[in-house]
Structure 1
């Protein structure tokens, strides 16, 4: 029984709390104690639950139900040995009580012995007439073992017995997703919706599956049904907006995102998406306004700072872009996406020393993308730091062995340093692995590729290739 405000059913709870305040002793039957304890557990009031259990067992020392609740609290507190001992006492009397096996399963699960937990839950199933909760617990144990097939099967069994168990429904779809069985998820949800046609959760989930399959028209229809079933379902408006964005119906996408702002406090996600849509529509002032709102609403959302920085980059307003990326870095100094953009912007502004430091930080934070290495090398070359550029390229080659754009750069640097032997060796590797990049490299290093010795190597390679 759930206690609620202004309800006659609250009397046992009020009576119990009055007893705690006055130190008077009142008698409650076991069912009242169970309801009181469940109320405290559901509200996270563990200490009060423990008091109710202790007083309950003083009044009803043989109650298996109260002892099982005590076991539940012990398991929650990781007092597993005590819980096992008390369970053994209960099991000797209540051998057919499914709750005994459920709690044993909880203990095994806490010990990460999920196979034994599964065996206990299967035993629990043999002693119950309503196995929906047990099937859900079985599904979770199979998830711990990464067995998505059996996890999915058990969540579906749970849903068959209790169609309104939405956590189980979400978990079943999670399993389908991990099995990359989108069509299987759609088939399952269609069967579910045949029996539960007004379930907004199921319509929402099948819409997401259609979106994955790029069946956008069906996805929109599904989200419309979700909204029809519950016109306050924010998730459906958000997902519908994402589909409309995908098919470039930006004004309609904005309308759906704006509904979510009316239903609850503004979310940074909705504000960001509205800004993106306005930018696509060419409404640059509105786009900028919503990007500002996004970072104001959630200063920790990196996508917001990236959106406003990229907005100014696309406008070639690198000074403004630098201002906002610096604000972002001040909030989160370990965000690799911020540092990479900082490096790019400094490069565009010809602040090469700052760009060098930013690219160094980008790599330190684990960004090893090819364009990071090449851009960093180009910055070092502009600074005349040729030896540092060589070390950077050699490090990059550990991630991209024989990558032509790296080999061309190494060749050019060695020639600039007067080391024609190393220069020619790297040039030959570059020509062999990426001849198509030659034109770009010729434009990037004209002083090197205009040399007769370099031209001869290229000519000889071309003759040998024909």
Structure 2
């Protein structure tokens, strides 16, 4: 007859694991108390070996059939290995043994949440709230469920409750920022983080989120101050440096932005987005060699980064190397076919190369993708006007005005085309509309058709509005 050995919780956890592995090797039967089994299970969980952990749970359940803790561990491991129905069965058994264990309802809530059965998820989380000693993580999960249901107001309520329970719950701080973002309610976001900082002045995450809220409100100076506090508290906080760099770019402080972007490399591996951002700063400073060097680093690191390829094109375009620029614009476009800015750059480069048909097709695409781009409409119609296709130019302007009824420059351009086409009555109608929209911009008409400066009828109408 085999002899049973007993190992208790006084043993070193490592020793328990060694004895367990010895038992398996020897095909033997040792007895372990509940704590020793928990230590062995946790050891395999930490080693990311759920299969072995489940094997230990089987032994534990056999030796301690009335200990709910092992059925709960079993359910957690079955969830990890995607055996959902078995996980539910283990939780049912655990509930029969110890219905007051909050973990049963937390795991069950998780399962229902993943299955998008939100009412049942909430019901289980609410039960867990009544039973658990620490509830911040449960409140966080309830907020996730409400977010998934599209109820961001209620999600925010639970996130605030979560932070009342545990002011240091970073996930809740970030989720709160996300909810305010979705609701486009940055003012309330700022208000919350300011109040939060009053009681938790050393929360780098709160300062960081405050900076992000200010950025979305275009209050870039305030955003930079908030990022600076985040960095002061946690000087290795790479995201705060990156977002501070973005805020400096918005203030057109490109040289300062480059320095801040470079600081991220001290705390995390360089990444393509940061290289691309630095490239853009050099581009704005018209240091095209440096800009191109950083854009190249970006696409070398991430060949799918469309903005990196586009940036290389922009630097070549600046140097009037339009044919080469087109090659890179098209690489960017292959990665992001619906990007109106890319189409616009292609249209412009094709035009400069004298490829009018290709330019026209590209402009057509720009205004289709972004019909409120007034400059694109003007350039598109210009190509047609240059080819003496006046009817087409007038038609394009009519479409432009339909999409941008408040853009005075479109009316003035239409006046020029109508005069050129000899349709004086319609031209004067549009001149009245242009002057009603913005009398100051009447110079646009003369820029396009200087000879009209001598036309008394036009000058009389302009003078009437100018007064």
Q: What TM-score, normalized to structure 1?
A: 0.74
Aligned pairs (5 A) from 1:5-24: 9=13
* Correspondence 1:215 to 2:222: yes
Deviation of 1:458 after TM superposition, in Å, equals 6.4
Measured in 2, the distance between the counterparts of 1:11 and 1:384 equals 91
Measured in 2, the distance between the counterparts of 1:339 and 1:374 equals 15
**Among residues 96, 99, 102, which one is paired with 1:95 in the alignment?**
99
1:232–1:263 Cα contact (<8 Å) kept:
yes
Aligned pairs (5 A) from 1:14-413: 63-69=67-73, 71-72=75-76, 87-88=91-92, 90-110=94-114, 112=116, 114=118, 117-148=121-152, 150-159=154-163, 161-162=165-166, 164-175=168-179, 179-180=185-186, 181=188, 182-193=190-201, 197=202, 200-202=204-206, 204-205=208-209, 208=212, 213=219, 214-215=221-222, 218-219=225-226, 221-227=228-234, 231-242=235-246, 253-278=257-282, 284-314=288-318, 318-319=322-323, 321-366=325-370, 368-401=372-405, 403-413=407-417
1:75–1:106 Cα contact (<8 Å) kept:
no
Q: CA RMSD in A?
A: 4.5
Aligned residues: 448
Measured in 2, the distance between the counterparts of 1:126 and 1:265 equals 44
Deviation of 1:222 after TM superposition, in Å, equals 1.1
User: Structure 1's 457 and 297: CA in aligned 2 closer, same or farther, altered over 3 A?
Assistant: same
Measured in 2, the distance between the counterparts of 1:394 and 1:16 equals 82
1:352–1:382 Cα contact (<8 Å) kept:
no
List gaps (5 residues or longer) in structure 1.
1-7
User: Structure 1's 25 and 173: CA in aligned 2 closer, same or farther, altered over 3 A?
Assistant: farther
User: Could you give the per-residue CA deviations for residues 415-436 of structure 1, whole angstroms, max 9, x where no partner exists?
Assistant: 5555556555545444444444
2:241–2:264 Cα contact (<8 Å) kept:
yes
**Among residues 437, 442, 452, which one is paired with 1:438 in the alignment?**
442
User: Could you give the per-residue CA deviations for residues 59-111 of structure 1, whole angstroms, max 9, x where no partner exists?
Assistant: 66655444445555676788877766665554444332212322343344345
Deviation of 1:127 after TM superposition, in Å, equals 0.9
Measured in 1, the distance between the counterparts of 2:262 and 2:337 equals 33
My pick for the range that moved more, 332-341 or 411-420, is 411-420
Give 3-state SS (helix, strand or coil) of 2:131's partner. coil
Q: What TM-score, normalized to structure 2?
A: 0.74
Give 3-state SS (helix, strand or coil) of 1:215's partner. helix
My pick for the range that moved more, 287-296 or 76-85, is 76-85
User: Could you give the per-residue CA deviations for residues 44-70 of structure 1, whole angstroms, max 9, x where no partner exists?
Assistant: 877677666667656666554444455
Measured in 2, the distance between the counterparts of 1:46 and 1:395 equals 63
Deviation of 1:307 after TM superposition, in Å, equals 3.5
Measured in 2, the distance between the counterparts of 1:408 and 1:393 equals 10
Match of 1:4 in 2: none
